[in-house]
Amino acid sequence: MRTFQVQPPCQAGLSRRSFLAGCAAGAVCAACPAAGQAVPETAGKAKVRLVFSYPPPDKEGWPYVNYDYETRKKQILARLEPACPATSFLPAAAHNDVDAKRILEADREVDGYVVYMLGIPAGVAPAFMDSGRPVILVDDLYGGTGHFLTSYATARRKGLKVAGVSSSRFEDVASAARSFETLKKLRTSVIVDVRERPVGAIPKAIEEAFGTKVTQVTGTELDEAYRGADRADARRWAGTWVRNAAKVIEPSREEIDKSGAMYLAMREVMQRHKAQALAIDCLNLFYGGRLAAYPCLGLCQFNDDGLVGACESDLMSTITMLLMTYLVQRPGFISDPVIDTSKNQIIYAHCVAPTKVYGPAGPRTPYHIRDHSEDRKGASLRSLLPLGEMTTTLEISPARREIVFHQAKTVANLDEDRACRTKLAAEVKDPYKLLSEWDRWGWHRVTYYGDLRVPLETVGTLLGFQMIHEG
């Protein structure tokens, strides 16, 4: 074992409170040879019709007769616009189903509808719900409640593209509305898929479900970019990764320099194809001698910077990561999970994990630079991830229009020499239930820090996807 360089940025195994206190936010950017890459702008603002639903003011009922709807509408719009800066809200009012149908017939290019239920008129919500377009119903509590509860229950039972918000916390409304920004970005995004042989079914399903284009390129194109990469720039990136590491164990500095050149090559290919995500068939390309270095450190850099880098050309995981990057502005940890029923644990294991789990502007986890586990070659990464945290783990199937997910609380960074380098253990309520879906979904899952069930279910509903709670 060789070790060199290194003061750990903070200690492993900390609680989130201690972890945040001990790490400087944004430390990576200060040390990087070039500024971190934010997700490129992919589209203009989302256009959302904001429909205020209420009866004539002189009608008795909730909230009360002669209620000042005009002032309430102005208050809501004044809060929504700054909370959703990438959305253009187009206000309208509907007092009955005739008004609702008139609005629907006039709209051709809106990305969706927020129906804000200020009172209890007849027929407004069902008209939008049955339109087949994505709709968010919002109960303005003590105003539209009676209409909201019956309408939203109907939408859920029918499996319509209708999400609901019934909360006194305004951020819950804004968070739901921002889902339209995610869907807008997906429609104009590009995934670069580096592999030797093109595949057709999954890219087609991704484009049909999300509008996202998958551009497939060969390892030869990446190899040419690798050979043309600026070696001085590559060494600077390698030096940054080494300086920020708590330990460098097996890889030589020469090997890490090669990883720096591979990162520059992948970045060049992404820029050439105007992509926001890259998936790479890393194992087959490297094992076959068609990849000069493992891409692990570069994929970590992409994910930390707000882009998407995905292992093994797993396009289902790639579109999962891209959607969640837009939705929650956090990177995902793609893994091969292991389940330990004796401890009620699932262990997320892989040789690539992010170090900025709370997003590009957040603190960085400590990490070790290791060789790749399966063949003991190249350079990869063991990230020592925050403990005591709720996580949300998922995978999206564009072809089946399904999302499988579970939640767990992180408890340990396991130090086990077998299998992949990063091993994050998390407790689940029922590990046996987690044994039921792997034949339909494959081995991979993508893990995110945070209780993200509500935003995930909201965007899944607007897409018309079925949610499968696996544990």
pLDDT at 407: 97
CATH number of this structure's domain 46-183, picked from the four choices 2.60.120.10, 3.40.50.720, 3.40.50.300, 3.40.50.2300: 3.40.50.2300
The closest of 412, 414, 384 to 11, measured between CA atoms, is: 384
CATH number of the 16-41+188-469 domain: 3.20.14
pLDDT at residue 187 is higher than 90: yes
Residues of each domain in the chain carrying CATH 3.40.50.2300: 46-183
Q: Name the token pair of 435.
A: 């044994």
Residues of each domain in the chain carrying CATH 3.20.14: 16-41+188-469
349-398: pLDDT as tens digits: 999 899 999 999 999 999 999 999 888 999 999 999 999 999 999 999 99
Pairing of strands 402-413, 466-469: parallel
> CA 454, CA 457: separation in Å to the nearest integer?
5
User: For the chain, what's the residue count?
Assistant: 471
Going by pLDDT thresholds of 50, 70 and 90, the confidence category of residue 8 is very low
Q: How far apart are the first and last CA of the chain?
A: 39
pLDDT at 7: 29
Q: Name the token pair of 200.
A: 């057709």
Residues 6+ apart with CB under 8 A from 17: none
55-114: pLDDT as tens digits: 999 999 999 999 999 999 999 999 999 999 999 999 999 999 999 999 999 998 899 999
pLDDT at residue 42 is higher than 70: no
pTM of the model: 0.90
> CA 142, CA 85: separation in Å to the nearest integer?
28
